[in-house]
Structure 1
């Protein structure tokens, strides 16, 4: 039996940062990477933390370095790689040893692994990028509560802190932790897209240069929009390119990558019947961004893209209010999806606890999340947009969102996330919508029937049924 508190497999960017974080918090850790030189280099470069790090050059050596019962943290790519790593580990482990998947796993895969390894598996979502992993991420746990409790002393110690409270918590059974992390990433996609659209209005509609954009976002980061994403937006806009001397933004190709978690959010929302149009729009926008050649062809056919806004140009305060409005509606949709999953899967997900975990460490951390936690705690079964604080915000800012979407549309500036937010807001505040026409159409061509508005009788048919 060894003396290490935990093992870690996978010394990529996130794995290396987490391992150093664990060691720094006073835990002894054994590490393994399939490329032996990576393991050796990591240990050699660990500096004063090296005494708490045991480099292992085989899985057997890793397992032998651990105290029993063992805990092993997987930081490897999602999918088949995780399954292969588990298969390689199992013959070396005892029945009480615990495998913890800390990657960006699809929660359906986590559910399956829970069933295959009853009582021996924990899935945790980890957010914060390299900086968060090194100095304090947000951690969302899923699986048997006993497994979380067993790993919690280490996981809460390495997590980010908000007013001295760890941003790490148990979300629920099965793949609940990875599900919550997936929704987090969907919100992240949407938050980033909303910001990018405001940048597009500033650049293409108002003719602002990158330095001016940076100054505006710096100011916004001192107010209601204070957040990690707004902070780094200012930094990105202000950065200069070493090769050209101009703004870095001017040399970055306008095609956004994605690793799939935003797409998973959109797919699962459809399965749950949960409306998340702002996140859907953000995922679609990334897909469109990849079609650079086709977009150039379409511009040649249909004429120039965005046009300058020369009259009725919005003030920066109006853009700020529109962004606040879109952000609130995006989070309302994300928490609504979480509530739908909680009901569907029997997880009893706690929206307030989730908001608290997101207050620090993760990519979507923002000042608003503390108020969101309070609102969700006060009325756990109500939509976020109905909470008094956020209803008041929406009443104050929806006019700005409406104006910005209208101006963008009139000047050919694509703002799909803002447009989706406005459409969602208008649909949700309309007591009688237009789905009666849809039901009439469905009954006409497929005899699907409808419910009468006047007396509530169901399975009715219109006169076209004959």
Structure 2
């Protein structure tokens, strides 16, 4: 076989799946893993694709196996491991070679690496879709120079997921860390979407006494309507599955302590720096953190008793509440991306981002088609103000308010759905209560304030000047 067209380092779950995807799309690929046996086993089990895979046992061997100018994808853990790998590659690469970090990197690290003057080209790339997506078509969000994207874009669009209209779910988001930033917000939305589904699941389980099988039927019906999405689809599947050991519903056998890799937390932290309100995502991160405090929650129930009481809500009302919550969550996410574009000087294409998320990624859903259309009409307009979604919100809002109010009265925790509702109520209140906060700040710190009447006096009568 002639030299490989591309190289890949790191044959873990995601790296191995991505390498097979690349090979399957017709691009010869050289691979290397720090543990040589992993490389050998990968090649031996590649089946019909083995002829397009070049296994190498050293970094130098990997580099020599790739045609110039070389392109190498890193699929290694985020953080120091990436810096170490870049350092290790430096002696073997030329200035026009391109290294792509396709891990779950902090976009600040990607910015730093892009600005560091590396002796070769560098591209940051967010990849969403898990192992299945990596193998058969992920959503790809790249960040770096347009020239570097043009050089490798044919490969990345070929291996990406395809939307219903056939367009690839892969695009350059902007310079430097823009791709990893968009992937981070994607993951934050993912946290929130999952949390809202879990909250409605909890209402049906604990408030309405529904079995996992009954809940699966509800989710399955929702997946045929406006909520059609990957997460609703798999929620129906996980609630339908039985545990092979106990023959009880699998979901009922799982400890309610959720893990996380940190990207949702990064989203919440960065939103504070950008002054971008994303309360639904923040509530979802909080909920995962609370879930980890199992001993404290058990002690809380022992001391105060279980809070949840019976509740009776139609499935249609729960569906409408979830529709409203989903729109509010995505509106906050896109608003945060817009804030980042202004802050970092990135030209982030909001409708293009919505289109990239339509297939391959975890948050893919039918609603993203309409979101892309709404954002294309007016990217500067908050999504909830787009006519299509404003009408949906108006229609679904009574259900969301009923669900949140009923749940709170009955002691069922709905942090994400409630946070979405509170944000929306604030966003449609022309005169809020921050005037009281400004008065307080001026009283204790002489911070001043703006007046409604235009009088040139920025302080209240409580200060020494009065």
Same fold (TM over 0.5): yes
1:249-288 superposed matches below 5 A: 249-288=251-290
**Counterpart residue number, 2:155:** 154
1:322-361 superposed matches below 5 A: 322-361=321-360
1:285-304 superposed matches below 5 A: 285-304=287-306
Is 1:465 paired with 2:463? yes
Is 1:114 paired with 2:114? yes
**Counterpart residue number, 2:104:** 104
Contact 1:2–1:64 (8 Å) recurs in 2: no
Paired with 2:365 and 2:230, the residues of 1 have a C-alpha distance of: 6
1:37-436 superposed matches below 5 A: 37-117=37-117, 120-162=121-163, 163-309=165-311, 313-436=312-435
Is 1:451 paired with 2:450? yes
Paired with 1:289 and 1:307, the residues of 2 have a C-alpha distance of: 20
Paired with 2:172 and 2:453, the residues of 1 have a C-alpha distance of: 46
Paired with 1:192 and 1:229, the residues of 2 have a C-alpha distance of: 7
Contact 1:262–1:283 (8 Å) recurs in 2: yes
- Alpha-carbon distance, 1:303 to partner: 1.1
Paired with 1:76 and 1:362, the residues of 2 have a C-alpha distance of: 20
Paired with 1:456 and 1:63, the residues of 2 have a C-alpha distance of: 70
Paired with 1:342 and 1:395, the residues of 2 have a C-alpha distance of: 29
Determine helix, strand or coil for the equivalent of 2:140: strand
- Alpha-carbon distance, 1:305 to partner: 2.8
- Alpha-carbon distance, 1:307 to partner: 1.4
Paired with 2:216 and 2:427, the residues of 1 have a C-alpha distance of: 34
Determine helix, strand or coil for the equivalent of 1:161: coil
Contact 1:255–1:292 (8 Å) recurs in 2: yes
Paired with 2:397 and 2:463, the residues of 1 have a C-alpha distance of: 43
Q: 1:270 to 1:456 in 2, by over 3 A?
A: farther
Paired with 1:53 and 1:40, the residues of 2 have a C-alpha distance of: 11
TM-score w.r.t. the length of structure 2 is 0.98
Contact 1:180–1:338 (8 Å) recurs in 2: yes
- Alpha-carbon distance, 1:456 to partner: 6.7
Is 1:9 paired with 2:9? yes
Contact 1:71–1:97 (8 Å) recurs in 2: yes
Q: Deviations over 1:115-158 (max 9, x none)?
A: 11456100010000111000000000101111111110100000
Determine helix, strand or coil for the equivalent of 1:139: strand
Q: Deviations over 1:365-387 (max 9, x none)?
A: 00000000000000111000100
Determine helix, strand or coil for the equivalent of 2:225: coil
1:9-28 superposed matches below 5 A: 9-28=9-28
| Coordinate RMSD, CA, aligned | 1.0
Contact 1:2–1:66 (8 Å) recurs in 2: no
Q: Mean alpha-carbon deviation: is it higher for 448-457 or for 399-408?
A: 448-457
Determine helix, strand or coil for the equivalent of 1:122: strand
Paired with 2:98 and 2:338, the residues of 1 have a C-alpha distance of: 29
- Alpha-carbon distance, 1:304 to partner: 1.6
Determine helix, strand or coil for the equivalent of 2:365: coil
Structure 1: gaps of 5 or more residues: none
Paired with 1:209 and 1:293, the residues of 2 have a C-alpha distance of: 26
Paired with 1:249 and 1:228, the residues of 2 have a C-alpha distance of: 18
How many aligned positions are there? 462
Paired with 2:414 and 2:354, the residues of 1 have a C-alpha distance of: 27
Paired with 1:139 and 1:75, the residues of 2 have a C-alpha distance of: 14
Q: 1:456 to 1:319 in 2, by over 3 A?
A: farther
Determine helix, strand or coil for the equivalent of 1:91: helix
